[in-house]
Amino acid sequence: MAEIASLEIADPPELWTRLGFAVDAGMTWSSGTCLRLGAPGLGVVAWSLRGVHALTEVPTSDSTVPPVPPEPHHPNGVIALDHVVISTPHIERTVAAFGAAGIPLRRTRQAGTPAEPRTQAFFKLGDTVIEIVGSPTSHSPGPARFWGLTFTVADLEATTAFMGQQLRPSKVAVQRGRRIATLDRAVGSSVPMAFMSPKPQ
């Protein structure tokens, strides 16, 4: 099965520890994915995949991924890596690249505003949703890039109480029956990050 083996993230490990992630030796884990902290650059800088070859549309890491440990207990209540958001200047090209790599398109959604429309294309790697966002009306030859991460938490109210003013007030999510709270950028993370309530039963 195609899965995300690792994400290389340019935040210091100490910051993610303060955000309530269980960090060990500069790494934390969610949904079987190793989130390796302290990479050079900003934001999510690269990933490595299991069961997928020849996907060069977004930066790929050659780092060796350690064996998957038991899922850690995160004090902030995170129980899964819900989705990874990728921004692209050419939505058709990026969607086609994922399809050519054997990752089937699940659905698309139109969003944005009349002045700045956006197409969202959704894929899955393991249990994690990949959301690709781009303009349906304009294209450029530049590369796609990682934009942000969203995690599922066991209890959004408990996560909000734990993180306090590091989170903005929660709101109704696009996903039916769920709520979402985004990390305040003043916290200092270079990764746009959000936390969602679990999927309704």
> Could you write out the three-class secondary structure of 102-139?
CCCCCEEEEEECCCCEEEEEEEEECCEEEEEEECCCCC
pLDDT at 43: 97
Provide the 10 A C-beta neighbour count for residue 8: 23
pLDDT at 63: 85
Domain-located, residue 104: yes
pLDDT at 201: 81
Nearest Cα to Cα of residue 98 among 68, 128, 56: 56
Domain-located, residue 52: yes
Domain-located, residue 47: yes
Provide the 10 A C-beta neighbour count for residue 177: 11
Burial class (CB in 10 A: 0-12, 13-18, 19+), 128: buried
pLDDT at 128: 97
What range defines the domain where residue 101 resides?
3-196
Cβ neighbours of residue 148 under 8 Å, at least 6 residues apart? Answer: 43, 44, 84, 85, 191, 192, 193, 194
Domain-located, residue 124: yes
- Walking along the chain (201 residues) 10 residues at a time, the average pLDDT comes out as 95 98 97 97 96 89 90 97 97 96 95 91 97 93 95 98 96 93 96 96 81
pLDDT at 184: 97
Domain count across the chain = 1
Domain-located, residue 81: yes
Domain-located, residue 201: no
CATH number at residue 34: 3.10.180.10
pLDDT at 112: 87
